[in-house]
Amino acid sequence: MPSRDWNSWSRTPLKERVRWLARLRRLAAKRAGPLCDAVCADTAKTRFEALTQDVAPFLASCRWLERRAPRLLCDRRLGGTPWWFGGLQLVERRVPLGRVAIIATWNYPVQILGVQLAPALLAGNTVVVKPSERAPKSAELLVQLAIEAGLPDKTLTATPATREAGEALLNEPFDHVVFTGSTPVGLSIAARTAARLTPSTLELSGRDSAFVLEDADPSLAAAAIWGAVCMNSGQTCMAPRRALVHESIYKAFVEKLNALARRAAPRPLIDEAAARVCHEQVVAAIGMGGRDAAGESFGSPNPPTPVSPPVGRLWRPTAVVECPKSAALVEGRHFGPAIAVVRVASLEEALEIHERCDQHLTASIFTASRERAEKLAPMLGATNIFINDCVLPSAHPGASIGGRGMSGVGLSRGEEGLLAMTRPLYVSRSKGGAKRTLQEPPKIAAAAIGKLIAWSYGGWRA
């Protein structure tokens, strides 16, 4: 049942809520250092990564919302009123959903929570945040800043950063639930919310593809794909898990990738289990005939060098070239810096491998032909398509992100993400048109009205 949580914040004029968001942006910019420290402590990112991958995208999203929310959330008069409605006027108004729960993730703890929290509050909702147990410091500081920026009491609250708190939260009534995390947990949450017919936004994982077509720039493709593999220690739901490279450009691409892979240093993953899964899948792929890109040069007859196991949670980013299509690494069920590089003879073969996977958040297309990329883009089942790039364009504050099928449901960030935190309310003003329908007119008048309606919508022939 809807919470009908009409607190003082939901009644605050939009102009004042926009001013609150501007204050939050300035506070977060002023305290970017402590925010970066919290992210580093939670996730072992470098300070530069915390700044550029977490804090800066959040600040950009705030400014984008400040400038566009007044237009997106203002009352909108709906034109096109049928003539037979008389003097009817209809207005669409965006109103807050009510009480929103946000179950936060850890891999981009300020960016992702921030771009979900800001529109939910800007829309006028009351919000409860459940921080990730792996990133409690980041969430706690971000929530503190949002409250300090001037929210009324109890508009924003946070639970403890424990699994038990998450379980308890789902037993409470909410008007919307936002979750970012793994698909198994997302399915469990979907079942819980469906029992109450509570709508949800589920941002689940992707296992995405990079298509390197025969007319691609091999240097650009290798650098962009490898950069996305290494970004955030490979712990990005939009990072490519497989590169599908046309055989005519395969050698040139692999030579460029080899040079990059050889310079890779071990990176910390979130835990030892994540590093171990990457290592096991890489070793299995090499055992099936693949080769570590950081090993011998292309086409070397020497036996492959064994891949060193992780040291605790430290793991070296790894690309397996000549990876067999049947290797588990191609499926991409890992969350770390490892990628399968598969040789394909045609685009049709690449699409067949791509479509085996049931989780698509993004896809990358490397080609010199914009027309070809535009034609391929809608065939890939993803929400975000990157032409001659990987991952980074998704940080644009106007680009909504969200999955389909096993990658989730609903959109966050951008225009769609803001509107998703509201519901439309249609308010009409009329002169009692319904009253006129209670009494049927004389037959001659009814026939004339019928002819007029037929002519109005079908022309003289009708």
Q: Could you give the residue numbers annotated as active site?
A: 203, 237
Residues 420 and 116: beta-carbon distance below 8 Å? no
Residue 283 identity (one-letter amino acid): V
Q: What length does the chain have?
A: 462
User: How far apart are alpha carbons 181 and 413 in whole angstroms?
Assistant: 16
The per-residue b/e assignment along 185-200, b for 16 or more CB within 10 angstroms, e otherwise, is bbeebbeebeeeebbb
Question: 322 has which bridge partners?
Answer: none
The span from the first CA to the last CA of the chain, in angstroms, equals 48
Q: What does DSSP assign to residue 405? A: G
User: How far apart are alpha carbons 54 and 64 in whole angstroms?
Assistant: 16
User: How far apart are alpha carbons 461 and 207 in whole angstroms?
Assistant: 55
Parallel, antiparallel, or unpaired: how do β-strands 200-203 and 208-212 relate? unpaired
**Edge-to-edge strands, sheet with 176-180:** 156-158, 126-130, 99-103, 176-180, 200-203, 408-409
Looking up tokens 């086409």 gives 299
